[in-house]
Amino acid sequence: MEDNVHIDKLQVDAVVGPDFWDRKDPQKCFITINMLTDFDKAAASDDLRYSLNYAAISKNVASFVNTQNDWGSLGKASRMTSNYLISKYQGIKNLRLSFQTKSAHVRCNDISAVVDTCNQDYDVLKICNLQLLTLLGVFTFERLRKQFVTIELELPWTKDSLHSPPHKNIIDSVAEYVENCNFKTVESLAESVAKVVSLDEYFQQRPKLPITVKITKLNAITNTDGVGVSCQRTPKQLELFQLPRNPIQQRSTKKFDLPIYSDEIKTNTDDKWNKAFLAFGSNLGDRFQNIQLAIEILEKNPQITVNQVSSLFESEPMYFTNQDLFMNGCIEVGTNLKPLELLKVCKEIEYKNLKRVKDIENGPRTIDLDIIMYLNGDNEQVLLNDSELTIPHVRMLERSFVLEPLCELVPFDLVHPLSCEPLTTHLSQIYSKGHLEDQLWKLIPLPTINGHNRFLKFKSIEKFDDFTGKTTIVSQSPSYMMCVLNTTPDSFSDGNEFYHILDKQLIRVQHMYDEGLKLHDSIIIDIGGCSTRPNSEQIEEEIELQRTIPLIKAIRNRKDWEQEKIIISIDTYRAQVARKAIEAGVDMINDISGGTFDATMFDVVAKHPNVSYVLSHTRGDISNMVHMAKYDDDQLESGDDLTKEFMFYQRFPSKTGTNVIRSIAREVTDRYSLAILKNVRRWQLMIDPGLGFAKNGKNNLQVIRHLSLLKNYSKFTKDGQYVNFRNLPILVGPSRKSFIGKITDEPDASKRDFATGSAVTSCIGFGADIIRIHDYTNCSKAIRMADAIYKGV
C-alpha cells in the first residue's frame, strides 16, 4: 500500500547563496515535501514513531533550516533538509523534497532543487520561467523584432555532490548566448541551449548526465499560452554538435554591437544639460599634475562643468604590463556637448594639451580620458555604437580601476544599461576573483618635498563577513599614527611651560621622529596652537600664528631629518592659519569644526588640492558643544530621510541603536556636500567622527563600535544628490579623552595612556585608518599589534 503526506510550499527565510543582486541575504524560500509512508503501520501499532504529523514536521523543518546562517547553495539546503527528515522520522519510506527560491537570479523567478530518494543516481535542479528575448522564426515579422521565449532546464545533480550545479553561471551563459544570436527554428534553439549548458565545468566533469531543455514560444499562436519543443541530451552526445554563432545584425554593423541602433540615440532636446562620466589614467611624468591639468582644462570649457571628482587610485597596468603604475579616477561632468563632441574635447586634452604619444596600444601615457557613461538631461542612460565611440565603455566592467572610482560618484543601485545589474555588483564580482592586480591603493596627495611625490596610501577590500552574511569594505593597510604636538599652555592633557620655546619643541619633535619611525614608514605630527577643549578660552588668531608657524618652518628646515617621511598637520579651525601653515610647509589641515567655525576654510582647502583635509564632526562651538550631545531616534524615525539612508548599501532598519553614528554621518554629509560644492576634491578628504566634541562618554563608545557603519554609509540628500563615504579614510582621536578617565577612574589625563592603548586597538579593529595619540612611544606599538591582529599587516 502507498500512502502520502504532503506539505506544499512551506515558507522559510534562508541564505542559499547570492540573491539576484549578488547579496548573501536571506531569501524567501518555499519547501514542498511529498512523503511516502504506510498508514497501516501507525494504525496497527498506535506508535507515534510511525505517525507523520505534518504540523510538527513543518515546524521542525523551519527550525532546522534556521540552524544555518548560510547554506551556501540551494542544493545543499535541499539535500541536508531531506537527510534531516529521513533520519528523524522512521515512518518516511521515500521522500521527494523541493526547495524553491524566487529571488536567486534577476532573470528567473523560479529555481528549485528537487531531492528524490527513489532516484539513486541524481537529484534535479530546476530552472523555470527563464524569459529571454531573441530573434526566432522564418517569417518577416519574426525577423524584424525580438520575441520572448521561455526556457525551462532540468539539470541532474549527482548524489555524491553536496552542492547543486551553478545556476547563476548557467543562466548567465544561456542568456548571453540566446539574446545575442538568432535562430530559424525552435529545435535549433533548444539543442543550442543544451550545448551551452553542457559546456559548464560541472557537466564537463560529468559527461553522462542528461540535460533537459524545454523551449516555449509565447506569442507564436494566439489561441494558446505557447508552443514549443523539449529535448534531452548528455554532454557526451553533444561533443560533436557545433554551437551556431549567428549574431544579431544591426543596421549599422560594428565590431561591438549593442542592442540599439546608432540613429536611436536620445540626448537632451531642451535646456537640460547632460551628464557624463570620464575615467582618467596617467603613468608618465608627474601623474598627479597631469590629472590636475586635465581637470583644469575641462573646467575652463564653457560647455562643461566639473561636478565632482573621485578619489585617486594606484593600479597595476592591464593588457600591456611592462610599464609603470597608473594613477586612476573618475570625473562627473555636466555638459551640453553630444557624446562625439565631448570625445573630441577629451582627445584634444590628451594629444594637444598633455602631448600624449600613443606608441603602444594600452601603453604608457601622460593622460587618458575615456567616456565611460553618458546620461541625458532626463537622467536616462545613452547608448552609443559608433566607429569612434562606444557608450557604455566596452571594457569598463572588467576594470576595478574604473568601477571603483565610478562607484564613489553614482548611486549604489545604478545599473549597467546592458547587463541590468548594479555597477557595485560588477565591482564585487571583479574582487571576488581574488586577483591581486585588481586590488587598488587609494592615494591622498601631499605636497612634493625634495623631488619626492608623496601620498598617504590606503588599501580597502570587499570582505564577506561570516557572522553577518554581508559583504563590507574593510581596511587592509597599515594604520597611520598622528602624534599630538601642542604649543599651548592650556591643552587638556599636555599643556606645558615650554610651549613658546622653539628649541624645546624641536627636541620633542626629534623624539617623535626617532620613536615613530622605528615601527612606521612615516609619522604625522599634528601641531596645535589653540586649545579646542570644551569651554576653553579661545586666543586671538595672531597668537595662534606665533605659536605654530615658526615651529612648522623650523621642522621643515631640518636637513638631518628625512622630510618626505614627516607629514605635518595643522590643528586649526581658522582659514588664515591654515593658509599660512600651508605656505610654511604643512601637508594636512585638521579642522575639528568641519568648516563650521570659519566659512572660508573650504575656499583655502580648494586652492591647495595637494593638501589633505580632516572633515570632522562637531556641534555648536567651543563654549556650548558639551550641551549638544543628544542623539535620539525621534528625528530619524519621523522624517522621510529614513528611506534615503543606507548602510552596506541596504536601508537602515528602524530602532537599531545606531542613532549616534547615523546622526554624525548625516551631519557630515552636509559638510561634505558643501566642501565639494566649494571645489574641494574628494581625494583630499578624510573623516573624523569627533570623539569628545558634542559627545558624552556613552556616545564616544557607540561611535567607536560603529566606525564600520560610518565607512559604509551612503545617503540621498534632499536635493537628490547621492553621497557615500566609500574609500574615505577614518581618523579617530581617543587619546587621553575624559570618557577613558571616567571608565578607568583616572582624573589625571596624562595618566590615561595605558587605557588609551586599549582604545586605540579597538578603534583599529572597528575600522580606523589614522589614530591621533599623545603617547607615541607606546601607542606606536599598540597600533602595530592592532594592525597585525585585525588587518593582517
Give tens-digit pLDDT for 747-779: 999 899 999 999 999 999 999 999 999 999 999
Handedness of CA 331, 332, 338, 339 (dihedral sign): positive
Q: Return all residues near 151 (Cβ < 8 A) that are at least 6 apart.
A: 127, 130, 131, 132, 174, 178, 193, 213, 214, 215, 216
The total of other beta-carbon atoms located within 10 Å of residue 514's CB is: 11
Which pLDDT score, from 0 to 100, does residue 223 have? 67
Q: Could you tell me the three cell numbers for 271?
A: 535646456
Residue 253 to residue 262: CA distance in whole angstroms: 10
Fold held by 121-249: GTP Cyclohydrolase I, domain 2 (3.30.1130)
DSSP 603-657: HHHHT-TTSEEEEE---S-TTTGGG-----SHHHHHSGGGGGEEETTEEPPTT-S
What does the pLDDT average to over 259-283?
Answer: 72
* DSSP run (H or E) holding 156: strand 147-158
Place of cell 582604545: 759
CA dihedral 15, 19, 23, 28 (to 10 degrees): -50
Q: Return all residues near 149 (Cβ < 8 A) that are at least 6 apart.
A: 131, 132, 133, 134, 136, 178, 186, 189, 215, 216, 217, 218, 228
Which pLDDT score, from 0 to 100, does residue 199 have? 95
Q: Could you tell me the three cell numbers for 344?
A: 573630441
Q: Could you tell me the three cell numbers for 429?
A: 564580482
What does the pLDDT average to over 11-26?
Answer: 89
Residue intervals of the chain classified under CATH 3.30.1130.10 are 1-118, 121-249
Q: Is pLDDT at 335 greater than 90 in this prediction?
A: yes
- Range from 19-33, 93-107, 474-488, 675-689 that averages highest in pLDDT: 675-689
Q: Could you tell me the three cell numbers for 128?
A: 523555470
Residue 689: pLDDT band (50, 70, 90) is: very high
What does the pLDDT average to over 194-221?
Answer: 90
What does the pLDDT average to over 196-204?
Answer: 94
Q: Is pLDDT at 71 greater than 50 in this prediction?
A: yes
Q: Which residue has the higher pLDDT, 524 or 217?
A: 524
Which pLDDT score, from 0 to 100, does residue 637 have? 45
DSSP 16-36: -S--TTS----EEEEEEEEEE
CB 168 within 8 A of CB 105: yes
Q: Is pLDDT at 295 greater than 60 in this prediction?
A: yes
Residue 1: pLDDT band (50, 70, 90) is: low
- The proportion of the chain whose per-residue pLDDT surpasses 90, expressed as a percent, equals 64
Q: Is pLDDT at 356 greater than 60 in this prediction?
A: yes
Residue 509: pLDDT band (50, 70, 90) is: very high
Residue 45 to residue 298: CA distance in whole angstroms: 87
Q: Report CA 445 to chain centroid distance, whole Å.
A: 22
Which pLDDT score, from 0 to 100, does residue 251 have? 39
CB-neighbour burial class of residue 223 (10 A; exposed 0-12, middle 13-18, buried 19+): exposed
Residue 429: pLDDT band (50, 70, 90) is: confident
Residue 261: pLDDT band (50, 70, 90) is: very low
Q: Is pLDDT at 182 greater than 90 in this prediction?
A: no
Residue intervals of the chain classified under CATH 3.30.70.560 are 273-442
What does the pLDDT average to over 15-42?
Answer: 86
Q: Is pLDDT at 250 greater than 50 in this prediction?
A: no
Q: Is pLDDT at 654 greater than 70 in this prediction?
A: no
Q: Is pLDDT at 682 greater than 70 in this prediction?
A: yes
**What are phi and psi for residue 7, nearest 5 degrees?**
-130, 115
Which pLDDT score, from 0 to 100, does residue 692 have? 92
Q: Which residue has the higher pLDDT, 553 or 472?
A: 553
Cα-based angle 721, 662, 652 (whole degrees, multiple of 5)? 80
Name residue 215's beta-bridge partners.
Answer: 151, 229
Which pLDDT score, from 0 to 100, does residue 511 have? 95
Place of cell 597600533: 783
Name residue 233's beta-bridge partners.
Answer: 211
Single-letter amino acid, residue 203: F
Q: Is pLDDT at 62 greater than 90 in this prediction?
A: yes
Which pLDDT score, from 0 to 100, does residue 372 have? 96
Mean pLDDT (the chain) is: 88
Residue 4: pLDDT band (50, 70, 90) is: confident
**Architecture of 475-532+541-791 per CATH?**
Alpha-Beta Barrel (3.20)
Predicted confidence (pLDDT) per residue in 371-393, tens digit: 999 999 888 999 888 889 989 99
Cα-based angle 200, 201, 204 (whole degrees, multiple of 5)? 90
Cis, bond preceding 392 (omega within 30 deg of 0): yes
CB-neighbour burial class of residue 426 (10 A; exposed 0-12, middle 13-18, buried 19+): buried
Residue intervals of the chain classified under CATH 3.20.20.20 are 475-532+541-791
Identify which of 740, 792, 787 has the alpha carbon closest to the alpha carbon of residue 480. Answer: 787
CATH number listed for the domain at residues 1-118: 3.30.1130.10
Fold held by 273-442: Alpha-Beta Plaits (3.30.70)
Q: Where are the beta strands (DSSP E) in 660-725?
A: 685-688, 713-716, 722-724
Distances (CA, A) of 83 to 42, 506, 619: 22, 73, 59
Which pLDDT score, from 0 to 100, does residue 350 have? 93
Q: Is pLDDT at 121 greater than 80 in this prediction?
A: yes
Handedness of CA 637, 643, 644, 650 (dihedral sign): positive
What does the pLDDT average to over 58-71?
Answer: 92
Which pLDDT score, from 0 to 100, does residue 603 have? 97
**What are phi and psi for residue 210, nearest 5 degrees?**
-80, 130
Q: Is pLDDT at 45 greater than 70 in this prediction?
A: no
Q: Which residue has the higher pLDDT, 664 or 473?
A: 664
CB 294 within 8 A of CB 367: yes
Cα-based angle 99, 16, 5 (whole degrees, multiple of 5)? 20
DSSP 558-613: -TTS-GGGEEEEEE-S-HHHHHHHHHHT--EEEETTTTSS-TTHHHHHHT-TTSEE
Sheet with 650-651, strands from edge to edge, namely 650-651, 645-647, 713-716, 722-724
Q: Is pLDDT at 190 greater than 60 in this prediction?
A: yes
CB 11 within 8 A of CB 29: yes
Taking phi over 0 as left and psi of -120 to 50 as alpha, with beta for the rest, 118 belongs to alpha
Which pLDDT score, from 0 to 100, does residue 467 have? 66
Pairing of strands 326-335, 312-315: antiparallel
What does the pLDDT average to over 525-533?
Answer: 91
Q: Which residue has the higher pLDDT, 350 or 468?
A: 350
Handedness of CA 87, 90, 94, 98 (dihedral sign): negative
Q: Which pTM value belongs to this model?
A: 0.70
Distances (CA, A) of 748 to 491, 696, 745, 752, 776: 13, 18, 9, 7, 18
DSSP state of 103: S
Which pLDDT score, from 0 to 100, does residue 263 have? 42
* Residues labelled as active-site residues: 356, 365, 368, 370
What does the pLDDT average to over 405-418?
Answer: 91
Q: Is pLDDT at 395 greater than 90 in this prediction?
A: no
Identify which of 270, 292, 355, 366 has the alpha carbon closest to the alpha carbon of residue 324. Answer: 366
Residue 45 to residue 53: CA distance in whole angstroms: 16
Q: Which residue has the higher pLDDT, 509 or 248?
A: 509
Q: Is pLDDT at 618 greater than 70 in this prediction?
A: yes
Residue 189: pLDDT band (50, 70, 90) is: very high
CB-neighbour burial class of residue 131 (10 A; exposed 0-12, middle 13-18, buried 19+): middle
Predicted confidence (pLDDT) per residue in 625-641, tens digit: 989 988 875 455 444 54
Q: Is pLDDT at 598 greater than 80 in this prediction?
A: yes
What does the pLDDT average to over 671-686?
Answer: 96
Q: Is 49 helix (H, G, I), strand (E, B) or coil?
A: helix
Which pLDDT score, from 0 to 100, does residue 323 have? 85
Residue 475 to residue 708: CA distance in whole angstroms: 10
Q: Which residue has the higher pLDDT, 474 or 454?
A: 454
Residue 662 to residue 666: CA distance in whole angstroms: 6
Which pLDDT score, from 0 to 100, does residue 136 have? 82
The total of other beta-carbon atoms located within 10 Å of residue 732's CB is: 30
Which pLDDT score, from 0 to 100, does residue 578 have? 97
- Range from 264-278, 450-464, 591-605, 651-665 that averages highest in pLDDT: 591-605
